[in-house]
Amino acid sequence: MNFQLLKKRIKKNEGFSLKPYKDQLGFITIGFGHLVLQKEKDLIKNKINKKKLEEVFENDFNKALKDFNLYLSQTTSTKKDSELLIEMIFQMGLSSVLKFNKLLYHMRKKNKHLVCFEMMKSLWYRQTPNRVKNLIIYFLKK
């Protein structure tokens, strides 16, 4: 699978900031939506450049892809299923995505409309409605 378009979409959905900011949940974030961990305080203390934040993005993406391959790849049957779950993991983390039991069930059953229904009735949708709407549109396209 070619991940360049997925990476481009995630970057667009995340936006970019060279300066740390608080996300909608109040967590310190930088770059392309990277949650700054306690051990990464150097990302916000020192002046950082876009090249370094591109590396951080690649690491975050690779972690999301690894988590997907280890825990959720058997759930999917299409490229769009896989891309949706990888982006969800990138944004929310694996533990949060694993709580989407009904969404994952409907994905295994290949019921795209009920997958989208689960997306729309989630807290995720209420927190980032534009992103989820865009993902639903992409997910339902033929």
| Residue numbers annotated as active site | 14, 23
101-134: burial string, b at 16+ Cβ within 10 Å, e else: eebbebbeeeebeebbebbeebebbeebeebbee
- The CA dihedral of 117, 71, 108, 140, to the nearest 10 degrees, is 50
- The CA dihedral of 37, 88, 48, 38, to the nearest 10 degrees, is 0
Q: How many CA atoms lie within 13 A of 22 on its CB side?
A: 4
